[in-house]
Amino acid sequence: MATPMTGWRRAFLLTAVLAALPAWAAEPAKPLYFGADLSYVNEMEDCGVRYRENGVEKDPFVVFKEHGTNLVRVRLWNDARWTNYSDLTDVKKTIRRAREQGMQVLLDFHYSDDWADGDKQLIPKAWADIDNVDDLARTLYNFTYDTLAALDRSGLMPELVQVGNETNPELMSRVPWNKKSPIDWTRNAKLFNAGIKAVRDAGARAKIQPKVMLHIAQPEHVEPWFADAAKAGVTDFDVIGISYYRKWSTESMPELGATIKRLRGRYPADVMVVETAYPWTLESGDELHNLLGEDSLIAGYPATPEGQRRYMIDLTQLVVDNGGNGVVYWEPAWTSNRCKTRWGTGSSWENASFFDFRNGNELLPGIDFAQHDYLRREPR
């Protein structure tokens, strides 16, 4: 028969158990971010798009807030002459709309005049002739600081700031990235640390001190990149952001979870899936080819509204189970529309939005992933 455990033995056992757990497991539970990148909303509304719930037209920011979204992500380009959006004026409008609904904001600096992503990081045209790395770092610092200071003066300082978007390649390159070419980490570290310092300095003079996020596309690239960054002296960050699209990733969902768990054990930073999406149909509403097609599907998650909802719930639970603290859906409001772009008329994402283009942009159930009751399970 077992004998009663004495107080000191019980305390010793508890200490041993806690010591065996990863550091994040002993931390108090952190709030979860349920996010949506709403960078396209202002443009969509100007293009005549209206969003509906139960047949009634509604402000999309109100819709997202009412369905549990607590974080709005918004991108910023330097000087995108090819569009009237994603400049500072447009960003201010988006942040103001998010704040009116009580949602926090993640500002995403692309440090480019165009899309910066896991395949390309092209330097802004205005900075292209700056050859000296220290001068380029000062320019990046000033742009970051001045942008945040301008937002703060308007009462719009974001709670989180991305220093770069999907920065797998070397930041602000002058030529398209050759994946076989190594990153010049002496240069790369100077640029990242300049951006990080600008966020810290701007926050020190504001009521809101934004957290710094560094963001890499696809989980298989995250650990090598952060290991190289640490060796080069890039260590002052609060959040690791990961893009996860099964179409472009070699990792399954369980492998993504394992990556998140290792990152939480290795770095004193939060981890978020800051971009993901899933198709609810394989149909198209316009002439543009949809980027997420049949090659994006995962077994068990059909291209249906319920399949999209289940994917988002299961992915978010996976993130939570492994110590992560948030998921952001990319462009859930970028639906079919009448406007022409350089690629054609409409959207290449309407089948992965949260609105049914076949039914007057009626709200789909995928948005409710943010209201699901996620279990905080004990780590295995």
Residues carrying an active site annotation? 166, 275
Q: How far apart are CA 334 and CA 343, in angstroms?
A: 14
Q: Find where tokens 């990242």 sit.
A: 192
Q: How far apart are CA 49 and CA 44, in angstroms?
A: 5
Q: Find where tokens 């009116």 sit.
A: 100
Helix H or strand E segment including 106: strand 104-109
Contact 367, 63 (CB under 8 A): yes
- DSSP-assigned letter for residue 164: S
- DSSP-assigned letter for residue 159: S
Angle 331-208-154 from CA coordinates, rounded to 5°: 75
**Cα 105 to Cα 14, 100, 277, 346, distances in angstroms:** 39, 12, 19, 27
Angle 270-292-341 from CA coordinates, rounded to 5°: 100
**Residues 19-39: b if buried by 16+ CB within 10 A, e if exposed:** eeeeebeeeeeeebbbbbbbb
**Cα 103 to Cα 34, 99, 346, distances in angstroms:** 10, 5, 28
Q: How far apart are CA 274 and CA 33, in angstroms?
A: 10
For residue 111, give the nearest of 146, 76, 86 by alpha carbon.
76
